[in-house]
Amino acid sequence: MHLFRKDTPHFGPSRGHASAGRADAAPFGRSEAGGPEVSAFALDNGLDVVVVPDHRAPVVTHMVWYRNGSADDPLGQSGIAHFLEHLMFKGTERHPIGAFSKAVSGLGGQENAFTSYDYTAYFQRVARDHLKTMMEFEADRMTGLVLDDAVVAPERDVVLEERRMRVETDPSAQLSEAMAASLFVHHPYGTPIIGWMHEIEELNRTHALDYYKRFYTPENAILVVAGDVTPDDVRRMADETYGRVTPQGTRPVRLRAREPEPKALRRLAVADPKVEQPTLQRLYLTPSCITARDGECHALELLAEVMGGGSTSYLYRKLVMELGVAVNAGAWYMGSAIDDTRFSVYAVPAEGVSLEKLEEEVDRILRRVPSEALTPEAIERAKTRLVAETVYSSDSQSSLARIYGSALAIGESIEEVRRWPADIEGVTQARLAAVAERYLVPARSVTGYLTKAREADAA
């Protein structure tokens, strides 16, 4: 999918490869959703560049996306992609620790970074006149990172504390981790982005530098600039900054295990005294926008919207408004992934309703999706909402940069992003029914219960 939505997992810090020779900037025209005219080209060293014009204010969003994420962490080094993201703020040979961040704040700008399963990204938002300064800093830390144990060990402690705060003290996060590990029995999507605690504890300077040298190269990166710029301006500045970075010659190969076809439904539960509201969660293994057959990705995206996209959706209407067994219910699909991904259904029980009773009703309603939920009116409403989200995202400079950056980082093309609204509009009722019957089946599922435990039981 092409919207950077809340269900796209990523962690941030606490605060298409072109052939040799530079390609001409290729304008792709306006999208069917009325977006800007996007241009793309590549530098001689292989860096892909995307320019998204937005002339409403003299501001630019400058993003660098690397084609590596937590699913590319070496075996036994879970969390190294995220750990390195933290360490990228620790200075280079040219700029000491904090110089980059101080420059951004001194210019009145904003910055951040995040790691997901399939990519790592760094971005700044500054006035247009300071774009080249951002490029100089970012190009420098593409190859100039300097690390010593005096900064590595304390930053590892920061990541360990981040995991304690986000996961070890949060039963809902613990359930999510356990469900992912059960859904992906062989693929690294089953390993948390932040890493397992015992493996984070062992990460060191050598691990970080080896990973850095492998993935942080111009031919493995995508520069996205959205804002008050022209393609010619961006090309000139990129040539003068990123163009000086020496390439390795070939893009690093991503080595990942393939998830086997699931054969058995799985169930698990987390009980904790801190749970305030019991929850039923269900994950299904489904194709992503990269692994799907023709049209299945768009059908799964639309199916999630029909089934669980807000208070007019099928699940909410049935479970909350008609049966009264839930106070909330919905569904989502994480289509933006390189490998097979997850489709989720969830429900929160009403007072006095057990999770077992709620699950019984959810299963009964899910069996009726092909025959009951997929009415022409419901499908049209869902299409309108999804396309409207794309239009609204096009109104945000940073959202546009993220949409194009995340798509290219997983191997999609600008044309596929541009065509997405039309592809959603083209999904038929028959295709929706087909993907529901093919993928929303028990053998492809993991069901999780989040329940409140007494202190004695937890002990």
Q: Which helix (H) or strand (E) holds 93?
A: none
Helical axes 376-393 vs 397-409, angle rounded to 10°: 110
Cα distance between residue 380 and residue 102, in whole Å: 49
**Can you list the alpha helix ranges (DSSP code H) found in 164-309?**
171-183, 197-200, 205-215, 231-240, 296-308
The two three-digit tokens of residue 292, written as one number? 């799907």
Q: Which helix (H) or strand (E) holds 49?
A: strand 48-53
Q: Which letter, b or e, does each residue of 361-373 get, where b requires 16 or more Cβ atoms within 10 Å of its Cβ?
A: bbeebbeebbeeb
Q: Which helix (H) or strand (E) holds 347?
A: strand 341-349
**85 part of the active site:** yes
The two three-digit tokens of residue 211, written as one number? 């990973």
CA-nearest of 355, 280, 11, 306 to 159 is 11
Cα distance between residue 290 and residue 1, in whole Å: 10
Among candidate residues 85, 219, 296, 389, the one labeled active-site is 85
Q: Is 402 exposed, middle or buried (0-12, 13-18, 19+ CB in 10 A)?
A: buried
Cα distance between residue 201 and residue 203, in whole Å: 6
CA-nearest of 211, 237, 171 to 83 is 211
- Cβ atoms of 68 and 410 within 8 Å: the answer is no
Residues 419, 373, 325: CA angle, nearest 5 degrees:
125
- Cβ atoms of 115 and 11 within 8 Å: the answer is yes
Cα distance between residue 183 and residue 445, in whole Å: 7
Q: Which residue has the tokens 């992912």?
A: 180
DSSP track, 95-117 = S-TTHHHHHHHHTT-EEEEEE-S
Catalytic sites, residue numbers: 85
